[in-house]
Amino acid sequence: MGFDLFPFSDYWWLYGAFTAFVLFLLFLDLGVFHRKAHVVSIREATAWSAVWIALALLFNYGFYQYALWKFPQDLRLIALPGFDAVAAAKQVGLEFLTGYVVEKSLAVDNIFVFVVVFSYFGVPALYQHRVLFYGILGALIFRAFFIAIGSVLMQYHAVVIIFGVFLLVTGIKMLWMPETKIDPDKNPLIRLFRRIVPVTKEHHGERFFVRENGVLHATPIFIALLFLELTDIVFAVDSVPAIFALTREPLIVFTSNIFAILGLRSMYFMLASAIDKFHLLKYGLAIVLIFVGLKMVWLNSLYDGKFPISLSLGIILGIVAVSVILSLAFPKRTEKM
């Protein structure tokens, strides 16, 4: 499949409707269900995780049904030699599902960062949901920007190869290089921000900015939010090309990516206390990146331009499942004092 199934000029309304739907969900999240700050329990987080996954799967099914209805009516598509509307609809449905699984898996890396950053800045559990809400709102904007750029660049085969090599290198580095300790105070942009805007030493409830002696100060939870936004930009450099390795349709990349991000907060509150138990998942994610990198530089051309998406989904699910099972079967050894 190319970029022709859902051209923006014909499907701009679908992008707009989806964006409006997402904004409505975010309004319900913060304005209704989490209007009052509270500590999110594992039970509540698990329920919300189920809701976000169910919404993604429901959208996936609706998207497939829409394609199944629309493609046979699209004169531009049915004029293509050998075009099979049913097969094309199945293809886009599987591409969305595979992209969602990849993004959901790669999002685990974000959770590791959330745990470290909240601990580093001493963000109370009472206000962590608020920080993550605005962090994910910013992530949605940055992801849309990256996807828009990627949809243009990925039309060039040389760029596809470059991104594929980048994913291969990233995956190999994740396999062999030791984990680096996160130190927000050493981040150059955080240090620059501190020089421009003074930062309070104490928290001021859920406020991001306060005035002290007539001078505007940022609070520690705003610095935590700023660092989370910066790290998400880094993660987007990996995750957006990874989805473009699975599909060339920007609409599928956009929707699957956004749905994965929407469920990130509840996944954090559900897994934060047990994240160390999945210590081998890092290696599984590294192998996933290597696999999608290989798709871009070699496997797609080996299969006449498109590695089977159903096979991709099975391989990715298998890698993630094995890494989780092995993590639980072989717990991480705790260092003796």
Is the pLDDT assigned to residue 325 strictly greater than 90? yes
| CB-based burial, 82-93: b 16+ in 10 Å, e otherwise | eeebeebbbbbb
Give the pLDDT of residue 180: 66
What rounded mean pLDDT belongs to the chain?
Answer: 87
Look at the block and give the residue holding tokens 């469920």: 263
Q: What is the pLDDT of residues 255-266, one digit of tens each?
A: 999 999 998 888
193 or 332, greater pLDDT: 193
**Residues 223, 226: Cα–Cα separation, whole Å:** 5
Q: What is the pLDDT of residues 180-239, one digit of tens each?
A: 677 777 888 888 888 898 989 888 888 899 998 888 999 999 999 999 888 888 888 878
1 or 103, greater pLDDT: 103
Which residues make beta-bridge pairs with 215? 212
The identity of residue 326, as a single letter, is L
Give the pLDDT of residue 3: 47
- Helix (H, G, I), strand (E, B), or coil: what is residue 214? coil
Local confidence band at 2 (pLDDT 50, 70, 90 cut-offs): very low
Are residues 284 and 319 in contact, defined by beta-carbon separation less than 8 angstroms? yes
Mean pLDDT of 52-61: 96
Say whether pTM exceeds 0.95: no
Are residues 186 and 177 in contact, defined by beta-carbon separation less than 8 angstroms? no
**Residues 136, 260: Cα–Cα separation, whole Å:** 11
Mean pLDDT of 273-295: 86
**Residues 276, 112: Cα–Cα separation, whole Å:** 9
Q: What is the pLDDT of residues 286-304, one digit of tens each?
A: 999 999 999 888 888 887 7
Helices (runs of H) and strands (runs of E) counted in the chain: 13, 2
Enter the tokens of residue 43. Answer: 């039970």
Give the pLDDT of residue 179: 67
DSSP 198-263: -B-SS--TT-SEEEETTEEEE-HHHHHHHHHHHHHHHHHHHHHHHHHTT---HHHHHHHHHHHHHT
Angle between helix axes 220-244 and 188-196 (nearest 10 degrees) is 140
Q: What's the first-to-final CA gap in the chain, in angstroms?
A: 56
Give the pLDDT of residue 94: 96
